[in-house]
Amino acid sequence: MSSNFEPKSAYELAMERLKKKDAETGIERRALTDGQKAAIAEVRSQYQAKLADLEIRHQPIARAATIDPDAVAELEAEYRRDRQRLSEERERKIEKIREEG
């Protein structure tokens, strides 16, 4: 074994497999421009704030509803749907920014 050999992490191996698969299927990855990187960072920042706001508004309501288990379950389900919706919106916007480049 060479002293320069460093084992690859599972992440590095997975990334290599994904790049190979993309190349085989004809998917081309382009480097993001500085403008795209800034726009993506802005979208992530905005949605991080929206998710934090959602969590802050959810906590006192969830604590107050602990008496009724059905109400708690309904509030938790609504909270999860709202988080999922915001996460999906964020990812759609990021993908749109990537495609515009």
- Residue 81 burial (C-beta neighbours within 10 Å; 0-12, 13-18, 19+): exposed
| Segments making up each domain of the chain, as ranges | 32-100
Contact between 44 and 87 under an 8 Å Cβ cutoff? The reply is no
* Span 81-94, pLDDT tens digits: 999 999 999 999 99
Contact between 29 and 15 under an 8 Å Cβ cutoff? The reply is no
User: Collapsing DSSP states into helix, strand and coil, what is residue 12?
Assistant: helix
pLDDT at 13 > cutoff 80: yes
Residue 21 CB coordination number (10 Å): 10
User: Has this prediction a pTM greater than 0.75?
Assistant: no
Q: What is the mean pLDDT of residues 54-59?
A: 89
